[in-house]
Chains A and B, each alone.
Chain A
Amino acid sequence: MWARALRVRFPVPLDRGRGFASKAGPQGKVQEVRQGTHSPRLASQGAGRVPAAKIEHLERLALVNFGSREAVARLEKAIAFADQLHALDTDGVEPLESLLEDRCVYLRSDNVAEGNCTEELLRNSHHVVEEYFVPLPGNVSLPDMVNKTPSPTAE
């Protein structure tokens, strides 16, 4: 029957001393990753503080406001988490951009096959004049976003 337990395949309890078979060197952050845990390494080991100017720059690029000190802290933790990649040696490895890199990807022929759906497309916009989407003046610089009030959803 399916439920019978044969020999125990995996050793119990786990030998925590045994590291994972990573090719990376044993120093630095890899040690943390290898020591038998997959929980994300949070910012306990002094995650770099992101300077205020960088925060502002990001907010401007993303047009998304951090909104709170906690959100900035979360970014710092995310960066610290990502920093673990640097321990891995990737010399000579090509970046993988597409899983279909070995294939000829299909391209359509340059013929108009469908369209004439102006009305349907305009229907979803909040502000339309004749057949134009209506934005606002674009030559007004964005005010300082860092001092904006936190979002309603920030804790």
Chain B
Amino acid sequence: MLGRTLREVSAALKQGQVTPTELCKKCLSIIKKTKYLNAYITVSEEVALKQAEESEKRHKQGQPLGDLDGIPVAVKDNFSTSGIETTCASNMLKGYIPPYNATVVQKLLDQGALLMGKTNLDEFAMGSGSTDGVFGPVKNPWSYSKQYRERQRHDEHGDSHWLITGGSSGGSAAAVAAYTCFAALGSDTGGSTRNPAAHCGLVGFKPSYGLVSRHGLIPLVNSMDVPGIFTRCVDDTAVVLGVLAGHDPKDSTTVQDPIKLPMILGEMDVSRLCIGIPKEYLVPELSSEIRSLWSQAADLFESEGAKVIEVSLPHTCYSIVCYHVLCTSEVASNMARFDGLQYGHRSGIDVSTEAMYAATRQEGFSDVVRGRILSGNFFLLKENYENYFVKAQKVRRLIVRDFMNAFDSGVDVLLTPTTLSEAVPYLEFIKEDNRTRSAQDDIFTQAVNMAGLPAVSVPVALSNQGLPIGLQFIGRAFCDQQLLTVAKWFEKQVQFPTIQLQDLMDDGSLVLENGKLTSVSLT
């Protein structure tokens, strides 16, 4: 069951081949088995089992709510969940229990999805490795895959060379990649969904800005944040997006144009497609393996009749700098709400309000968060506002124009790498600080957030080390369905292999034949 698509499992549930409770219990047991991944901060076992019970009743009465009824999902811990601790992996919000559900969470629950738990992340979604949260780093399930381990020379049983998931939504990525759930919510501000998706061999989707509600998503950068979706195949993403997309009266940045629902991806006529390859994305730091796969992907489209052209996004090299200024500035503003008074951590200092605020923020925020707040405040100082913040806003318009020009020249979809390399070992990743790493790792992904475009990372192939590599497709604003249709066609061509997780294979949970998942035992 675990290896099937969402629609297949949904059909199986409707036909009674499996019950929501069985599915729920299986996922809970896998969560326990894969605890060492540290993907979950909170496992909402009781909640999930209760939801499973209710889903079962509905199925017995022949009244399931939809394709997500009875399906285990996970949610990144920066989405508010009523009655369930929401921490953003920060001391500032440890013990904080929101009194409401984020709109996207509510939509999933209204469709009967089973909430397995809240997943781990970089503190306040700041980072590109999922290594900087107070609950510790998330480990990439591929570190323990047969495909990776059989190509390593060091001791197989040693654990010191485990790999990062990428970030900041690494917990959600690990949760889906390790079969603990069928779909997970992440957030994407500069690539936080696409980056870990590429490193964990998953489909990581960033919707158009304004398509999906941000109400309840603890904000990082209001003008760039969007909820992101992790799944094991593109069709599943379409199912989830169909549930989440749409105007929300509680979020005035969601647009009101009606979109076609449910989202069913049709067949693609590749010969009518025009693919753009941005030449500025060909940077020296790009690994040769990814460069080669990128080239092969372009060739594949061309060989099937698509028009593949080189395009130019001239301001690309300024994009990461612009993002850095806008991001830290908005963060400085958004983090100002954490003062210990109404919610969250409160320091014991009792001298004065200001002293209490300062101490609270000192104790509650990590170095990374404090660093970004201070940088942001610097750029927002009166003397710097024009030169840095407004300047960055102007550069942002130039970057948006670059994309518009590329699409106006007839391009339907852009094809780029998602990351510079495959997932790296944790010990190597931490050699540089958070800001440096983010500036390096977000290189292909953040420009998309600045332009508010939809983008998706699709797993393509395994590297020589046996690790996943993904490529990114970028579409026009609000052409999410077309983008996913292209991605679905591509996914079918590349046939990315299933992860061979030794633990789950040893106990018969996952059964593979020739690298393909044939069946999963539910006992």
Residues of A within 8 A of B (CB): 2-10, 12, 14, 16, 20-23, 33-34, 36-40, 42, 50, 57-59, 61-67, 71, 74-75, 77-79, 81-82, 84-86, 88, 90, 93-100, 103, 105-108, 117, 120-121, 123-127, 133, 135-143, 145, 148, 151, 153-155
Q: Give Cα A95–Cα B395 distance, bound, in whole angstroms.
A: 8
Please tell me which one of the listed residues B299, B346, B377 contacts residue A127 in the complex, with CB atoms under 8 A apart.
Answer: B346
Please tell me which one of the listed residues B296, B396, B440 contacts residue A3 in the complex, with CB atoms under 8 A apart.
Answer: B296
Q: Is the CB of B342 within 8 A of A140?
A: no
Q: Is the CB of A78 within 8 A of B328?
A: yes
Name B378-415 residues within 8 Å CB distance of A.
Answer: 378-379, 381, 387-388, 390-398, 400
Q: Can you list 16 contacts pairing A with B, beta carbon distance less than 8 Å?
A: A4-B299, A21-B279, A21-B280, A37-B285, A38-B440, A61-B377, A67-B370, A75-B371, A81-B324, A85-B388, A135-B341, A136-B353, A137-B352, A138-B353, A140-B355, A142-B352
Q: Is the CB of A78 within 8 A of B435?
A: yes
Q: Is the CB of B223 within 8 A of A98?
A: yes
Please tell me which one of the listed residues B342, B367, B379, B396 contacts residue A71 in the complex, with CB atoms under 8 A apart.
Answer: B367
Q: Give Cα A22–Cα B295 distance, bound, in whole angstroms.
A: 24
Q: Is the CB of A94 within 8 A of B99?
A: no
Please tell me which one of the listed residues A22, A36, A65, A125 contacts residue B341 in the complex, with CB atoms under 8 A apart.
Answer: A125
| Chain A residues positioned under 8 Å from B137 (CB to CB) | none
Q: Is the CB of B440 within 8 A of A20?
A: no
Q: Is the CB of B291 within 8 A of A22?
A: no
Q: Is the CB of A108 within 8 A of B209?
A: no
Q: Is the CB of A39 within 8 A of B346?
A: no
Q: Is the CB of A74 within 8 A of B361?
A: no
Q: Give Cα A126–Cα B340 distance, bound, in whole angstroms.
A: 8
Q: Give Cα A153–Cα B332 distance, bound, in whole angstroms.
A: 19
Please tell me which one of the listed residues B362, B379, B395 contacts residue A151 in the complex, with CB atoms under 8 A apart.
Answer: B362
Please tell me which one of the listed residues A8, A16, A75 contacts residue B295 in the complex, with CB atoms under 8 A apart.
Answer: A8
| Chain B residues positioned under 8 Å from A141 (CB to CB) | 352, 354
Q: Which residue of A lies closest to B285 (CB)?
A: A38
CB of B433 within 8 A of chain A?
yes
CB of B292 within 8 A of chain A?
yes
**Nearest CB of B to A48, in Å:** 11
Q: Is the CB of A22 within 8 A of B318?
A: yes
**Nearest CB of B to A73, in Å:** 10
Q: Give Cα A78–Cα B312 distance, bound, in whole angstroms.
A: 28
Q: Is the CB of A36 within 8 A of B284?
A: yes
| Chain B residues positioned under 8 Å from A65 (CB to CB) | 358, 362, 370
Q: Which residue of A lies closest to B208 (CB)?
A: A99
**Nearest CB of B to A1, in Å:** 9
**Nearest CB of B to A87, in Å:** 8
**Nearest CB of B to A88, in Å:** 6
Q: Is the CB of A78 within 8 A of B324?
A: yes
Please tell me which one of the listed residues A20, A38, A99 contacts residue B210 in the complex, with CB atoms under 8 A apart.
Answer: A99
Nearest 9 A/B pairs, CB to CB: A140-B352, A95-B393, A120-B99, A99-B452, A124-B343, A90-B394, A9-B295, A96-B397, A126-B346
Q: Which residue of A lies closest to B387 (CB)?
A: A86
**Which listed segment binds A: B49-57, B142-150, B250-258?**
B250-258
Please tell me which one of the listed residues B223, B253, B318, B344 contacts residue A85 in the complex, with CB atoms under 8 A apart.
Answer: B318
CB of B173 within 8 A of chain A?
no
Q: Give Cα A16–Cα B315 distance, bound, in whole angstroms.
A: 18
| Chain A residues positioned under 8 Å from B387 (CB to CB) | 86
Please tell me which one of the listed residues A39, A88, A142 contacts residue B285 in the complex, with CB atoms under 8 A apart.
Answer: A39
Q: Which residue of A lies closest to B294 (CB)?
A: A10
Q: Is the CB of B394 within 8 A of A106?
A: no
Q: Is the CB of A97 within 8 A of B374?
A: no
Q: Is the CB of A39 within 8 A of B440?
A: yes
Q: Give Cα A145–Cα B396 distance, bound, in whole angstroms.
A: 35
**Nearest CB of A to B447, in Å:** 12
CB of B320 within 8 A of chain A?
yes
CB of B267 within 8 A of chain A?
no
| Chain B residues positioned under 8 Å from A108 (CB to CB) | 249, 252
Q: Give Cα A86–Cα B54 distance, bound, in whole angstroms.
A: 59
Q: Is the CB of B249 within 8 A of A106?
A: yes
CB of B325 within 8 A of chain A?
yes
CB of B436 within 8 A of chain A?
yes
Please tell me which one of the listed residues B342, B352, B398 contacts residue A90 in the complex, with CB atoms under 8 A apart.
Answer: B398
